[in-house]
Amino acid sequence: MICSIGPATAVVWGISQWNRVAEHGGTTFRLPWAPGLGLTFDFRLDGFGLLMLALVSGVGLLIFGYSRWYFADGPRLGRFAAILTVFSGAMLGLIVADNLLALFVFWELTSITSYLLIGFDDDKAAARAAALQAMLITGAGGLFMLAGFVILGQAAGTYSLFEILAAPPAGGSVGVALALVLVGAVTKSAQVPFHSWLPSAMAAPTPVSAYLHSAAMVMAGVYLVARLSPAFAPHHLFWQPALITIGLGTMLLGGYRALRQTDLKLLLAHGTVSQLGFMTALVGAGVPELTFAGAALILAHGVFKAALFMVVGAIDNHRGTRDLRRLHQLSREMPGTFVVATIAVASMVGLPPTLGFLAKESAFEASLGFAPAIAGVVVVGSVITFAYSARFLWGAFSSKPDAVAPETSPGGRASEWPLLVPAGILALSTVVLGLATGVTSRLVQVAARALDSASGGELYLWHGFNVPLAMSGATILAGVLLFAARKHVETWQSRVRPALGSQQVFESSLRGLNRVADRTTGLVQTGSLPAYLGVIFLTAVLLPGWALVGNSLPLALTLDASPLQLAVAGQVAAVGLALAVIRRRFIAVLLLGAVGFGVAVLFLVWGAPDLALTQILVETLTLVIFVLVLRHLPERFEPVRWRAGNGIRALISIVVGLFVTGFALIASQERAGINATAIEYLERSVPEAGGQNVVNVILTDFRAFDTLGEIAVLCVAAMGIASLVLAGRGSEPGELPDER
């Protein structure tokens, strides 16, 4: 319940910003991140952002309430709510981010949280595989998009999304950049040919599907396309045809696949793929009227699809199955759910007086004005939509004499109401928004105008007898016919199977990738320690050593050291020599420690207590850890036999020794005295950071970003060590030692 504070705040804030957005076009907020690198978190909320915010936070709020009842048991709810909160935050960030790189970060955050949410039932292999599939496809798309963003940002000279849109850069590289960004958008919004992850993702708990896979995450791609289209579609000829083809193709394919699903949730998933295609085509054209219709459809779709997923969750919860062949006479058992589902379906197929009807009429009208051929495809898509929607309603609620005997619900709740209320609110709003055409028109207008200032339009419940109305009528008629012929459609579909599905392509490419990785690893990782060390040493000698060649050694070397320094240096050198001949591992480790302590004393003599202290502590800890590992190794080193390889090894060690000596001499020559940076640090330490210990001030203040990065690396290293050791021990992967 506490988690719903986040989306609730966002809703309230969004409403409070309405006037500023509607009148002045937007509101901005700036948060510097690393201004030295030109990285800032710039946020900007405009009309379209507000529409998305209303969807993401409004639906999100209801989803939190729904989840509260869906996960009746405690511990799972906590974990779920935590991830879902992170997700909704990332999604909000995505739709208000102005900086392209910040947008990318939020984009990837939604991918990661979606991975965790889809694989929420982590004891099921299918859920884990589906989560991985979604992660790989959207993640790979994200990488393409990042490359596109960087090219775009370099070409425009700014990473601000709105500045780029206001003055779109031109040139050949921009076309490439847009194509790359498009890959990201298309994968995220499950467009053909990357749509396979969305139906797989139905392995997620139903609240996840109702949120991520209807109103939130899958909308990210549509959102980005909608943002970019008005600015770039007129200048790049590939943009409009590509998006319209992909979008409409997805619309038809998704609908076609939805016609034969027997799992209600999968039916909805394929339907979502279809609707996403529709939206992509509308907003991707970059034409003002289509953009307006697209914005209306985005709003309508988010509301009714979330409601329908919630209904499926309620049915699943009640009956323990989502298979429409086993559901029988549910309209009598769950009358409230039936009503809600009917309203939502009416909106999905575009029946008056729902929001879906307004959106669909507007889409018909706009596409007719744009190109009649496209309007024709849209009608065909809508007919299929009608048929699968009718199939959904029929499958879920009707009395089917041939249904398999209904099961009694395992652990189902007696009352349908707790799960019904959030869905009911959505169904109610789809009707209210459908009736209050003035308000809805205004909302969509502001959103569309934010995308394209030339955009505009009105939403009507009734605008006389005209072609769009006839198209709606024809859609309904043909849809009824297609639904009536469902038996034939199913048999035909099961006979005509595509030779190569997107799912198979994904699976085989994954197998191929694994094979390549196997072979590369086998080739590169020989498992021979001398070989690894040889490569590391040679690289160290060759690359920095090459740079040293040009430098001259200091000619006049003066020996300037106190007796103590000389003594310590002599001790370190002697221990180093002893190390080379020692045979017992334990003694060797102790001697290594002696070298380290000797160096620490040298640091101390030079007046660097922080460094010396750190060196001593690290040396101590390393010794202990060495001893822990030593128990697995033989007591003595293997006796050295004279072989051909030994010559090479000796050569490498001599070269490394020479390199290190030369490096030390030249480096000490370069760093004579205190350089300017050090002086600046020393001068600014007390007045600016209020600290006398400049080493600590550098760590926590001047270079705090580095330190933050380092402790993050420490955390990652800790996870790596734990999982490596545990995996070697044969524990279950993912089981940390403290989970007992």
Partner 1 sequence: MNGDRSLIFKTSVGLIFHTAVLFAFYLLFAGHNTPGGGFIGGLVAGAAFVLRYLDSGTEGIWATLWRPGVLLGFGLSLAVVAGATGWMGGGEFLEHTAYSADLPVLGTLKVTTALFFDIGVFLVVVGLVRLVLSVLGEEAEE
Site for partner 1 in 621-650 (CB under 8 A): 621, 624-625, 628-629, 631-632
Nearest to 388 by CA among 472, 212, 505, 263: 263
Please say which residue, 505 or 718, places its beta carbon nearer to partner 1.
Answer: 718
Among 708, 727, 734, 735, binds partner 1 (CB under 8 A): 708
Is residue 682 near partner 1 by the rule CB under 8 A? no
Give 603's Cβ-side CA count (13 Å radius): 15
Q: Which stretch binds partner 1 (CB under 8 A): 45-53, 126-134, 587-595, 719-727?
A: 719-727
Q: How many CB atoms lie within 10 A of CB 324?
A: 23
DSSP 650-707: HHHHHHHHHHHHHHHHHHHHHT-S--HHHHHHHHHIIIII--S-HHHHIIIIITHHHH
In angstroms, give the least distance from the CB of 506 to partner 1. Answer: 34
Please say which residue, 573 or 712, places its beta carbon nearer to partner 1.
Answer: 712
Residue 171 Cα to chain centre, angstroms: 30
Please say which residue, 37 or 499, places its beta carbon nearer to partner 1.
Answer: 37
Please say which residue, 35 or 401, places its beta carbon nearer to partner 1.
Answer: 35
| Kind plus residue range of the DSSP H or E element containing 45 | strand 39-45
Give the per-residue contact string, 24-53, with partner 1 (x = CB under 8 A; - = no).
-------xxxxx------------------
Please say which residue, 559 or 628, places its beta carbon nearer to partner 1.
Answer: 628
Is residue 394 near partner 1 by the rule CB under 8 A? no
Among 573, 577, 717, 727, binds partner 1 (CB under 8 A): 717
Rounded Cα distance between 151 and 176, Å, is: 8
Among 618, 648, 650, 654, binds partner 1 (CB under 8 A): 618
Q: Which stretch binds partner 1 (CB under 8 A): 168-176, 257-265, 520-528, 605-613?
A: 605-613
In angstroms, give the least distance from the CB of 260 to partner 1. Answer: 47
Please say which residue, 481 or 617, places its beta carbon nearer to partner 1.
Answer: 617
Q: How far apart are the two ends of the chain, measured CA to CA in Å?
A: 29
Is residue 721 near partner 1 by the rule CB under 8 A? yes
Is residue 693 near partner 1 by the rule CB under 8 A? yes
Number of H helices, E strands in the chain: 31, 2
CA-atom Rg of the chain in angstroms: 32
Please say which residue, 477 or 621, places its beta carbon nearer to partner 1.
Answer: 621
Report angle CA 706, 711, 717 to the nearest 5 degrees: 125
Is residue 599 near partner 1 by the rule CB under 8 A? no
Is residue 729 near partner 1 by the rule CB under 8 A? yes
Is residue 329 near partner 1 by the rule CB under 8 A? no
25: DSSP letter: S
| Kind plus residue range of the DSSP H or E element containing 2 | none
Residue 468 Cα to chain centre, angstroms: 39
Q: Are 185 and 218 in contact (CB under 8 A)?
A: no
| Kind plus residue range of the DSSP H or E element containing 551 | none
Q: Which stretch binds partner 1 (CB under 8 A): 141-149, 342-350, 457-465, 721-729?
A: 721-729
> How buried is 684 (Cβ within 10 angstroms: 0-12 exposed, 13-18 middle, 19+ buried)?
middle
Q: Are 262 and 323 in contact (CB under 8 A)?
A: yes
Is residue 497 near partner 1 by the rule CB under 8 A? no
Among 696, 727, 734, 735, binds partner 1 (CB under 8 A): 696
In angstroms, give the least distance from the CB of 35 to partner 1. Answer: 6
Rounded Cα distance between 140 and 184, Å, is: 8
- Both tokens of 210, joined, read 């109702």
Can you give the binding site for partner 1, defined by CB under 8 A?
Answer: 31-35, 609-610, 613-614, 617-618, 620-621, 624-625, 628-629, 631-632, 689-693, 695-697, 699-701, 704-705, 707-708, 711-712, 714-715, 717-718, 721-722, 725-726, 728-729, 736-738
